[in-house]
């Protein structure tokens, strides 16, 4: 899977600044930015503030709150100077993304209290694209960013949003800035960075639709894998996530996770749900490990962490799993995680963990 981050931040900033410089000699203070209550000038300052804040989160490895600083433009700074600041803060965010290890996560409130370098890059790009749209709308300038950049944002920050025929109008609709035929207007929204569940030696990292597409197509999903990984079951599960996303049925926290060793950042397997809990509160779990990572207790550790997370959710009453009759190691994993055999499901053995 191609790297995503610093290059995209720089491209988004370059496109935005190039457009806005054509109107830098106009009054931005007295003009509202699109549907926002802010002026075009205030919105430009907000872009720079967000870019430097995201860079600070990554550089400072903040874990419980935003790093307590802000950016203030010097008195008398004109519109061209404000755009210079956007370029500078965009460069700083791109640098922070490039120099931050992929397994590092820093605080962001929505929705699971943290994001990795790709998440902060995506949020920075989104702030640039969306608020450039707002400013351009206020100033009467035409603006449409590259479709690939918009699609990438949707697959990383809006995994719960069904893709539309065109990515840019879908992104505008998803953020309350436009309409889409057949869809109700959006009045409130938030980023959706992937969930990460910590275990003793592992982190269960949520898989975005972008990563799921890549895994199901034979790629690495953006993860460095141990030898022989990912195993076929992980690729098949990723295909299920990609299909659910395309159908608008994907709920990120009830999707797929890649199991990443903390000691070296390498992925050893996949684990996750076959979808959200049904009306009876029943959710099915599946998993597999790369052959080279088996026999080390990773599956048991990850399953205990995932089931603990799931059982803390009000909508879950029963966790369910199936396993082949001759797969004794997997049966032992389920037993060690507290599952009890309850019968069969076709040719497979059925296990449950009840509240």
Q: Which domains does the chain have, with CATH numbers?
A: 6-174 (1.20.120.450), 196-354 (3.40.630.30)
Exposure pattern of 88-118 as b/e (b: 16+ CB <10 Å)?
A: ebbbbbbbbbeebebbebbbbeeebebbbbb
Phi, psi at 298, each rounded to 5°: -65, -40
DSSP string across 136-175: HHHHT------HHHHHHHHHHH-TTSPP-SSHHHHHHHHT
C-alpha distance from residue 50 to each of 71, 136, 228, 307 (Å): 9, 18, 40, 36
Contact 196, 204 (CB under 8 A): yes
Contact 34, 71 (CB under 8 A): no
Per-residue pLDDT of the chain (355 residues; tens, 9 = 90+): 888 999 999 999 999 999 999 999 999 999 999 999 999 999 999 999 999 999 999 999 999 999 999 999 999 999 999 999 999 999 999 999 999 999 999 999 989 999 999 999 999 999 999 999 999 999 999 999 999 999 999 999 999 999 999 999 999 999 999 999 999 999 999 999 999 999 999 999 999 999 999 999 999 999 999 999 999 999 999 999 999 999 999 999 999 999 999 999 999 999 999 999 999 999 999 999 999 999 999 999 999 999 999 999 999 999 999 999 999 999 999 999 999 999 999 999 999 999 7
């Amino acid at each position: 899977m191609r790297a995503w981050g610093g290059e995209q931040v720089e491209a988004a900033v370059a496109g935005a600044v190039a457009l806005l410089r054509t109107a830098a000699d106009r009054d931005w203070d007295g003009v509202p930015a699109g549907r926002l209550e802010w002026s075009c000038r205030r919105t430009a300052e907000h872009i720079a503030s967000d870019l430097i804040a995201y860079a600070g989160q990554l550089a400072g490895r903040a874990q419980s709150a935003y790093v307590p600083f802000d950016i203030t433009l010097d008195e008398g700074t004109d519109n061209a100077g404000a755009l210079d600041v956007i370029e500078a803060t965009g460069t700083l965010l791109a640098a922070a993304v490039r120099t931050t290890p992929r397994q590092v996560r820093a605080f962001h409130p929505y929705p699971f209290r943290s994001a990795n370098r790709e998440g902060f890059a995506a949020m920075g790009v989104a702030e640039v694209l969306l608020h450039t749209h707002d400013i351009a709308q206020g100033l009467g300038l035409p603006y449409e960013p590259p479709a690939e950049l918009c699609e990438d944002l949707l697959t990383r920050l809006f995994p719960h949003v069904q893709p539309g025929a065109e990515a840019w109008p879908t992104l505008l609709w998803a953020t309350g800035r436009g309409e889409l035929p057949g869809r109700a207007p959006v009045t409130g929204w938030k980023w959706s960075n992937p969930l990460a569940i910590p275990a003793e030696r592992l982190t269960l990292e949520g898989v975005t639709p972008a990563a799921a597409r890549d895994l199901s197509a034979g790629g690495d999903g953006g993860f460095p894998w141990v030898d022989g990984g990912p195993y076929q079951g992980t690729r098949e599960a990723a295909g299920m996530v990609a299909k659910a996303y395309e159908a608008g049925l994907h709920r990120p926290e009830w999707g797929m996770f890649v199991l990443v060793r903390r000691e070296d950042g390498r992925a050893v397997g996949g684990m996750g749900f076959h979808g959200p809990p049904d009306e009876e509160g029943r959710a099915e779990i599946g998993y597999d490990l790369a052959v080279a990572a088996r026999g080390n207790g990773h599956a048991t550790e990850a399953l205990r962490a995932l089931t603990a997370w799931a059982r803390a959710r009000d909508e879950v009453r029963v966790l369910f799993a199936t396993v082949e009759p001759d797969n004794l190691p997997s049966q032992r994993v389920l037993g060690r995680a507290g599952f009890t055999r309850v019968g069969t499901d076709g040719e497979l053995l059925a296990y449950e963990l009840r509240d």
